[in-house]
Structure 1
Amino acid sequence: MPIGRATRLLTDVDRANPFASDGEFRRFMVSIYYPSAQADATLPLPVYPQLFEPGQAAALAFLRSNGVDPAYIASLQTDIYNEAELADANLENAASYPIVILSPAFGIERDMYSFAVRKLVRSGFIVLTVGATYESVFTVFPDGEKIAQLPSLTNLQLTDWQSWNSLLEVRVQDLTFVLNQLEVMNKQDALLRNRLNLQQVGIAGHSLGGAAVYHVLGRSSAVKAAALLDPSLHMLGSVSVQVTSPVLLMRQNASTYEMLLSSGWSESLASETIAGQRQLADVLTGYQCFVRIHGANHLSFSDVPLFMSDAGIAKKHELIGTVIADFMKEHVCGAAGQFAKRVQTSAGLSVIRSDGHSAS
């Protein structure tokens, strides 16, 4: 199935720009991925850099400056077509698509999750990936305006809790705004009009984005299920709000205090992370499933390892993407048994307890 991609600039006129006193409102980009009609077989397959339109040049410049071979990136083919036609929904005669909103890690560009996006779209979802202007390594608006990551954020220290909590709150407000805009998009957007199933909304987040998703769950009843991808567990906060939505926690291989220390983490950060993991288990009153992905590190939940020609990432991406999609199908769309069967039969993951140790 070919996949379409479109971008939208969202502006929250009820919020001033939180990063600059410039009289502007909060603006950020959203990429929309969706099932597309049959592609023209006579055209060449798209390549990975095209995922960053309208910021392809900015993306290549950033990757080049970080030691990534542009020729290698340009050799990676995809089946994602910009501005392709949206296919008719074919989900047991449903006329609209379920939705997954994805919030990226700190600094990582919103389109660097293609492995997970493709699995979700092929499972029948429309996926919205949410950018983070001034925090992302780069943002390019439709008119060509480029905004780089603020220097103060490039050098942000892990111990600067005030700045991290401020970033987290911006993310939470951005995600809340996107959730509120879904109804508007379903009424007014030329691509999405009457194509969104507003009763079937899932949300996923990686790292800082995962912490933001957790906080959104405590504020919004619109989300049916959430996947937290190696989230910043030390940023869950001290206020424990009961969460009834089903939640999947996917951890890197180092899921225990001892394993984190062995990976080079400080004692304080490792301790706070496991405390957050235990807290998460305590506040989830609905369905919960905690797993660790064998051999995965923090960046394995993004496309970043692709840039480094990581030979083992394809298998991990296949597993991570499939588990996320199956979880969303079961807990957003009601496809009973799909996710549970996957967790029971997959060799590359282990179900874990709240302390990170294997449950079996």
Structure 2
Amino acid sequence: MYTYLITKLVAAGNRVVTVGSPADAMFSVLSDGTWISQPEAMQHDTEELYQRLLSYRVIQLQAVIKWLNGENEDQSITIVGHSIGGAAAWIAANDVSGGLQTQLMDPSLQLLSARDLTTRKAPCLILHQEQEEEACKLVEPAKKLVDSSLKMEPVKGADHLSFCDLPLLFGNKQAAYVHQQVWKTITEYMQQAN
């Protein structure tokens, strides 16, 4: 779902970890472009459902990070996450020491516990949509934690879904602009972090 970003990060020499959970999302887009609608996966829109989805994603990310660290501990890892995956990336990054950075796109941080929010080891960039009242609750919990290793940036013209590839499938030209802004901000952040 974030091919535009992951492709560029990998081409720049980064090891990238992200989460994909095709069985428990409203839709899935396969590598051949096939679109699968699965609204039944999210028909019970409850806090319990979101916590379960968050937990699954954290477990997946932690397993991949552990494996990658065993392969080559000297090369850093970049975790990319959006929405619930962004919240999962925040938690997963807390279990790793050194050699890791997180790039979160409109993460659902309201799902995190107070402990999860105050525990942060890895440098983190949070890109979020321009603040509308509903969107504020996604990133508001992190605003009080901003310091030299946590940067938060609004992306002009972005809404929640424009951070992923989905709008491009429908020919949304605004999403291409948002993707350019996301890449520019990430590039600048990574240059400053190194």
- Structure 1 length-normalised TM: 0.46
The answer to whether the 8 Å contact 1:250/1:293 transfers is: yes
Q: In the alignment, does 2:64 pair up with 1:181?
A: no
Unaligned runs of 5+ in 1: 1-111, 141-146, 187-195, 335-360
Structure 1 distance, partners of 2:182, 2:17, is 18
The CA deviation string for residues 106-144 of structure 1, in whole angstroms up to 9 with x for no partner, is: xxxxxx21211232133222434432252143488xxxx
Deviations 1:57-101 (A, max 9, x none): xxxxxxxxxxxxxxxxxxxxxxxxxxxxxxxxxxxxxxxxxxxxx
Matches within 5 A, 1:248-327: 248-254=125-131, 259-260=132-133, 265=134, 270=136, 272-273=137-138, 275-278=140-143, 281-282=144-145, 286-327=148-189
The 1:275–1:243 alpha-carbon spacing in structure 2 relative to 1, beyond 3 Å, is: same
Q: Provide closer, same or farther for how the CA distance between residues 296 and 155 of structure 1 changes in structure 2, counting only shifts above 3 A.
A: same
The residue aligned with 1:247 is 124
- Tell me how many residue pairs correspond in the alignment: 187
Matched, 1:154 2:30: no
**Offset at residue 311 of structure 1 (A):** 2.1
- Contact map agreement 1:182 1:198 (CA 8 A) in 2: no
Summarize deviations over 1:32-51 as a string: whole Å, max 9, x none.
xxxxxxxxxxxxxxxxxxxx
What does 1:1-360 align with in structure 2 at a 5 Å threshold?
112-136=1-25, 137-138=27-28, 149=38, 151=40, 153-157=41-45, 160-183=46-69, 186=71, 196=72, 198-239=74-115, 240-254=117-131, 259-260=132-133, 265=134, 270=136, 272-273=137-138, 275-278=140-143, 281-282=144-145, 286-331=148-193, 334=194
Instruction: Say which structure, 1 or 2, has more relative contact order (CA 8 Å, 6+ apart).
Output: 2
Query: Equivalents in 2 of 1:154, 1:245: separation in Å?
Result: 31
Structure 1 or 2: more helix by fraction = 2
Q: 1:224 to 1:161 in 2, by over 3 A?
A: same
Between the aligned partners of 1:183 and 1:223, the Cα distance in structure 2 is 9
What secondary structure, in the 3-state scheme, does the structure 2 residue paired with 1:204 have? Answer: strand
Asked if 2 retains the 8 angstrom alpha-carbon contact of 1:243 and 1:285, the reply is no
Q: Report percent identity of matched pairs.
A: 27
Tell me which amino acid in the other structure corresponds to 2:151: C
- Quote the offset at 1:329 in angstroms: 4.8
Asked if 2 retains the 8 angstrom alpha-carbon contact of 1:114 and 1:303, the reply is yes
Which 4+ runs in 1 deviate beyond 6 A?
none
Cα deviations across residues 205-244 of structure 1 (Å, max 9, x unaligned)? Answer: 1110100011112222255211111000211222243324
Structure 1 Cα separation of the partners of residues 50 and 173 of structure 2: 33
CA spacing shift, 1:297–1:148, aligned 2, 3 Å: closer
Q: Distance in 2 between matches of 1:230 and 1:183?
A: 27
SS of corresponding position for 1:134: helix
- Aligned residue for 1:312, secondary structure, equals helix
Matched residues in 1 for 2:17 and 2:90: separation? 17
Tell me if the contact between 1:172 and 1:216 (Cα under 8 Å) persists in the aligned partners.
yes
* Structure label with greater radius of gyration: 1
Aligned-pair distance for 1:200?
1.2
- Give the superposition deviation at 1:285: 5.7
Look up the equivalent residue of 2:186 and give its one-letter code: I
CA distance 1:126–1:329, shift in 2 (3 Å): farther
Is the CA contact (8 Å cut-off) linking 1:134 and 1:148 kept in structure 2? Answer: no
Q: Is the 8 A contact 2:18 2:79 kept in 1?
A: no
State the one-letter code of the partner of 2:3: S
Q: Distance in 2 between matches of 1:162 and 1:223?
A: 33
Preserved CA contact (<8 Å) 2:16 2:77 = no
330 and 199 in structure 1: CA distance in 2 versus 1, 3 angstrom threshold: farther
CA RMSD of aligned residues (A): 2.8
Matched AA of 2:130:
N
> Which blocks of at least 5 consecutive residues in structure 2 are unaligned?
31-35
